[in-house]
């Protein structure tokens, strides 16, 4: 456990000194909140379109932000793997679990901080546009999004372990686009329906946004929250197990 | 006591035997140089001795511990400075040292442990003259400083054997000389296995030199012994003579 924390601390320091992490993990979600709120203001109320209303928007943007945490995980891991730094650590008493947990923990912590900042900004926006956003819902959502944070971190760890510094970010961008589209972050999949909704339902992303939005509006019913949250939790568990196995296998191969 | 013993240590890649049946015995306290051109198999040898690569055949023991059967014991005893500088780029010099100290000393807890970690770091900083850059990020350092940090990080766990893979590769003359001096000072404290393709480096530092060609050790001995056996003066002449025979 202790070596895990030593390594986690190193990863946090490395990231905290990289400007890009602030831009992608913090500035970007805030900018999206602001832009989409402006878009929402220009949508006529009669249209009945609520996807960019601040409660729905906050739930979407917080998941969108997590896709960048995934990108960052992939970048850090692939960067570490490209140099000799990990190799030298392989010659120390550190075990593969110290590495994987040491990567995952700080990323999940960053996702939680990111959600805090996103929700604080969302709350301020809600005051400005006079929409009733419950602080209790936002706090509940901060906890509800932890499984999806773990899920995206695991995907990042898998990509960062399997692919090099050039390929990993590219693959992450695909997941970012796919995740934000099929996660129904920027459009209302339920009312669109059809094949698109079916595809969305086959992937985990839509359940992330669904659970986050339900938590924000304090709707903890089976359909709106419990089932989506359980699906995300299950996916996160499976992907984390896969990520740990992939890293261990790769580490063994590196040492063969 | 023997710091290292190898018997028939071999590493084969698909179509290439990188290290071919190495029989070595290195004493505790020795500074042992593996001398050879690029591709001779020096790095591969070091990797096998530090559990970074699994031997295809043969055995190696580090202070009596088998590298394959007891990797955990071996890892506690060795420190390695890899051929490429290996530091955490966004951490400062001090943070890099503290990180490595944490990796090795994570079992020890409490005030006393913290004190002994910080004492160790200060000693290493002094030994490597790192004080003026202690709060600089590693990525802003020149090649010479970075290499010193990378070697310092290999020592922070107080290893019984220090492996230095081409420690002065790519350094300018002054940085090289400074590093030589540090290595000489280390000689009395720790067993050192150093690889190099610079003749003058092996000649200046090593107690014993093994000449490695195409994965095999073709000559081994003190400088005097090598000169006597080849009838040549100076390591460069000796090396050319040995290479010519093989
Ligand atoms: N992972 C590897 N796969 C295949 N061949 C390798 C690998 N590592 C080293 N080699 C080959 O083994 C030989 C010895 O390499 P190395 O130990 O790095 O030599 P040196 O350190 O003396 O320059 C070289 O021919 C190199 O190409
Ligand atoms: Mg080499």
Distance to chain A for B101, nearest Cα, Å: 9
Q: What is the pLDDT of residues B72-126, one digit of tens each?
A: 999 999 999 999 999 999 999 999 999 999 999 877 777 888 888 999 999 999 9
pLDDT for A142 equals: 97
**CA torsion angle A23 A29 A35 A38 (round to 10):** -150
For chain A, list residues with pLDDT below 50.
none
B42 Cα nearest atom in ligand 1: 22
Hey, is the C-beta of B52 within 8 angstroms of any chain A C-beta? yes
Hey, is the C-beta of B95 within 8 angstroms of any chain A C-beta? yes
State how far the Cα of A175 lies from the Cα of A205, in Å rounded to an integer: 10
Contact A255 B53 (CB under 8 A): yes
Give me the interface pTM, i.e. the ipTM: 0.93
Contact B51 A255 (CB under 8 A): yes
SS (H, E, C) chain A: CHHHHHHHHHHHHHHHCCHHHHHHHHHHHHHHHHHHHHHHHCCCHHHCCCCCCHHHHHHHHHHHHHHHHHHHHHHHHHHHHHCCHHHHHHCCCCCHHHHHHHHHHHHHHHHHHHHHHHHHHHHHHHHHCCCCCCHHHHHHHHHHCHHHHHHHHHHHHHHHHHCCCCHHHHHHHHHHHHHHHHCCCCCCHHHHCHHHHHHHHHCCHHHHHHHHHHHHCCCCCHHHHHHHHHHHHHHHHHHHHHHHHHHHHHHHHHCC
CA–centroid distance, B221 to ligand 2, in Å, is 21
- Is there a contact between B8 and B21 (Cβ–Cβ < 8 Å)? yes
Residue from B37, B44, B217 to probe ligand 1 pocket by mutation (most atoms less than 8 Å from CB): B44
Contacting A residues, span 52-91, partner chain B, CB-CB under 8 Å: 83-85, 87-91
pLDDT for A1 equals: 53
Per-residue pLDDT of chain B (246 residues; tens, 9 = 90+): 899 999 999 999 998 999 999 999 999 999 999 999 999 999 999 999 999 999 999 999 999 999 999 999 999 999 999 999 999 999 999 999 999 999 998 777 778 888 889 999 999 999 999 999 999 999 999 999 999 999 999 999 999 999 999 999 989 999 999 999 999 999 989 999 999 999 999 999 999 999 999 999 999 999 999 999 999 898 999 999 998 887
Q: Which residues pair with B31 in a beta bridge?
A: B192
Distance to chain A for B150, nearest Cα, Å: 10
- CA-nearest residue to B99 within chain A is A6
CA–centroid distance, A80 to ligand 2, in Å, is 20
CB-CB: which of A3, A14, A256 is closest to B88? A14
pLDDT for A119 equals: 97
Q: What is the pLDDT of residues A73-110, one digit of tens each?
A: 999 999 999 999 999 999 999 999 999 999 999 999 99
- Is there a contact between A255 and A88 (Cβ–Cβ < 8 Å)? no
* Angle ∠(A74,B86,A108) on CA atoms, nearest 5: 30
State how far the Cα of B39 lies from the Cα of B44, in Å rounded to an integer: 9
Q: Are strands B161-165 and B216-221 parallel, antiparallel or unpaired?
A: unpaired
Contact A84 B86 (CB under 8 A): yes
* Domain spans in chain B, listed from the N-terminal domain onward: 2-84+142-245
Distance to chain B for A172, nearest Cα, Å: 23
Residues with CB under 5 A from ligand 2 (ion): B 43, 83
- Is there a contact between B192 and B212 (Cβ–Cβ < 8 Å)? no
Handedness of CA B153, B48, B201, B185 (dihedral sign): positive
pTM: 0.93
Main-chain dihedrals φ then ψ at residue B44, nearest 5 degrees = -60, -40
pLDDT for B109 equals: 75
Ligand 1 is surrounded, with C-beta below 6 A, by B 13, 16, 18, 36, 38-44
- Is there a contact between B221 and B229 (Cβ–Cβ < 8 Å)? yes
Handedness of CA A64, A66, A67, A68 (dihedral sign): positive
Hey, is the C-beta of A92 within 8 angstroms of any chain B C-beta? yes
Handedness of CA B230, B236, B237, B240 (dihedral sign): positive
Task: Please name which ligand lies nearest the alpha carbon of B10.
Answer: 1
Q: Which token pair is A154?
A: 């695991």
Which residues of chain B are within 8 Å of residue A7 when distances are taken between CB atoms?
A: 103
Main-chain dihedrals φ then ψ at residue A190, nearest 5 degrees = -60, -45
The residue contributing the CA closest to ligand 1 atom 5 is B13
CB-CB: which of B75, B86, B89 is closest to A87? B86
Q: Which CATH number is B2-84+142-245's, of 3.90.1150.10, 3.90.226.10, 3.40.50.300, 2.40.70.10?
A: 3.40.50.300
Contact A6 B54 (CB under 8 A): no
pLDDT for A10 equals: 97
A110-144 burial, b for 16+ CB within 10 Å, e for fewer?
bbeebbebbbebbbebbeeeeeebeeebbebbbeb
CA–centroid distance, B53 to ligand 1, in Å, is 12
CA–centroid distance, B166 to ligand 2, in Å, is 7
């Amino acid at each position: 456990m202790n070596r895990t924390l030593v390594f986690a601390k190193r990863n946090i320091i490395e990231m905290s000194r990289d400007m890009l992490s602030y831009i992608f993990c913090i500035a970007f979600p805030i900018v999206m909140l602001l832009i989409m709120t402006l878009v929402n203001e220009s949508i006529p109320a009669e249209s009945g379109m609520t996807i960019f209303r601040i409660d729905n928007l906050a739930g979407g943007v917080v998941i969108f932000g997590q896709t960048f945490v995934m990108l960052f995980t992939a970048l850090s891991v692939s960067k570490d793997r490209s140099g000799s730094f990990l190799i030298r650590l392989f010659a120390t008493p550190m075990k593969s679990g110290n590495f994987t947990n040491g990567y995952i923990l700080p990323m999940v912590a960053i996702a939680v901080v990111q959600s805090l900042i996103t929700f604080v900004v969302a709350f301020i926006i809600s005051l400005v546009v006079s929409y009733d956003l419950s602080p209790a819902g936002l706090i509940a959502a901060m906890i509800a999004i932890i499984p999806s944070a773990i899920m995206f971190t695991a995907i990042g760890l898998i990509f960062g372990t399997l692919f090099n510094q050039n390929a990993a970010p590219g693959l992450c961008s695909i997941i970012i686009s796919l995740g934000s589209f099929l996660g129904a972050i920027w459009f209302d999949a339920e009312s669109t329906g059809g094949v698109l909704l079916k595809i969305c339902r086959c992937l985990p992303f839509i359940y992330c946004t669904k659970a986050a939005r339900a938590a924000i509006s304090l709707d903890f019913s089976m359909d709106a929250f419990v089932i989506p949250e359980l699906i995300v939790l299950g996916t996160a568990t499976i992907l984390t197990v896969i990520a740990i196995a992939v890293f261990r296998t790769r580490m063994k191969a590196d040492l063969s | 006591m023997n710091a290292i013993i190898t018997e028939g240590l071999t590493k084969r890649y698909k179509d290439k035997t990188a290290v071919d049946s190495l029989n070595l015995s290195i004493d505790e306290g020795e500074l042992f140089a593996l001398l050879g051109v690029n591709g001779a198999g020096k790095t591969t040898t070091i990797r096998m001795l530090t559990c970074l690569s699994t031997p295809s055949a043969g055995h190696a023991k580090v202070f009596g511990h088998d590298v394959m059967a007891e990797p955990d014991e071996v890892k506690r005893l060795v420190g390695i400075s890899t051929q490429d500088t290996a530091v955490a780029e966004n951490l400062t010099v001090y943070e890099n040292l503290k990180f490595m100290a944490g990796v090795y000393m994570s079992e020890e807890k409490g005030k006393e442990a913290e004190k002994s970690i910080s004492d160790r770091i200060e000693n290493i900083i002094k030994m490597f003259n790192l004080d003026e850059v202690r709060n600089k990020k590693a990525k802003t350092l020149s090649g010479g400083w970075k290499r010193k940090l990378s070697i310092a990080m290999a020592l922070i766990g107080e290893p019984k054997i220090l492996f230095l893979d081409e420690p002065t590769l790519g350094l300018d003359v002054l940085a090289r000389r400074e590093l030589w001096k540090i290595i000489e000072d280390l000689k009395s404290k720790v067993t050192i296995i150093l690889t190099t393709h610079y003749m003058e480096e092996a000649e200046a530092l090593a107690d014993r030199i093994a000449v490695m060609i195409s994965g095999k050790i073709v000559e081994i001995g003190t400088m005097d012994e090598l000169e006597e056996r080849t009838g040549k003066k100076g390591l460069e002449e000796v090396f050319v003579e040995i290479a010519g025979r093989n």
